[in-house]
Every structure is written in C-alpha cells, then in structure tokens.
Amino acid sequence: MYRTYTYTAKLRAAVHTRLTAFLEQQRSLYKAASAGGWVRKVDPKHTSQDCSRCGERVTKTLSDQSHMCPACGLSIDRDWNAALNILNQGLVVSPPTGGNIPCGTSGAENGSACAFVL
C-alpha cells in the first residue's frame, strides 16, 4: 500500500510540474502576442555562468547567488546575469527569421528559456 501511495504521489508531482510548465509557456506566448511581440527559443545552457558583459565562463555552484567576473569585474546577481544572457541571445536574430516562433503558433520546448522582444 505504501509503495502504491509513493508511486502515485511521485506521478502526481511529475504531472503537476509538467502541467505548470506548459501553462506558464502558454501564458508567456499569450502575453507576448497581446503586446505585439514574439518569442524566440534560447538555449539555457551556461546562461548563469557566462558573463553577460564579456562572455567569460565563470563556473559556480548552485549556492553561489552572485556573478563576479574575474575578467571584466562585473559583479551582479546571478539571476540578473542569466536574464541578460537570455535577452542577448534572443536579440541576436531579428524576427521573423532565424528560428523565431510567432506567438500563438507553438511554444518553446521544455527546458528552453524564452526571450520576449517588443
């Protein structure tokens, strides 16, 4: 009985996680479309480690909450640095070419970060 409960609880948690991610993705697409913007998929790999100013890779542990670049001296919050990297990747290619996703047609893949450009 315990084993079944554990499996059911894990399954419920996994479904909840995926459903929440899907709904958040749909909400983001809706918000971008209603603002006249577009969504571009961005590879989230190393976005929290690469310096948003100079591109130097600064390895961190999950407990490191700040980004301090030894190459250029940039010192900002880790999440802020990651957001700048995602935005910069999103602005590399201008719409509607280069892998952009028009709002309302399809969403970003699971695990992808999205950059919204208005």
- Within 8 A by CB and 6+ apart from 117, the residues are 37, 38, 40, 90, 91, 95
18 vs 45 by CB, closer to Zn ion: 45
21 vs 71 by CB, closer to Zn ion: 71
Q: What is the length of the chain?
A: 118
Per-residue binding string, Zn ion, 44-63, x by CB under 5 A, is -------x-xx-x-------
Contact between 35 and Zn ion by CB under 5 A: the answer reads no
56 vs 109 by CB, closer to Zn ion: 56
Tell me if 69 sits within 8 A of 57, measured CB to CB: no
Instruction: Name beta bridge partners: 76.
Output: 67
31 vs 57 by CB, closer to Zn ion: 57
Measured between alpha carbons, how far is residue 116 from residues 85, 96, 97, 102 in Å?
13, 13, 15, 11
**Beta carbon of residue 32, minimum distance to Zn ion (angstroms, whole number):** 30
Q: Which spans of this chain sit near Zn ion (rule: CB under 5 A)?
A: 51, 53-54, 56, 69, 71-72, 74
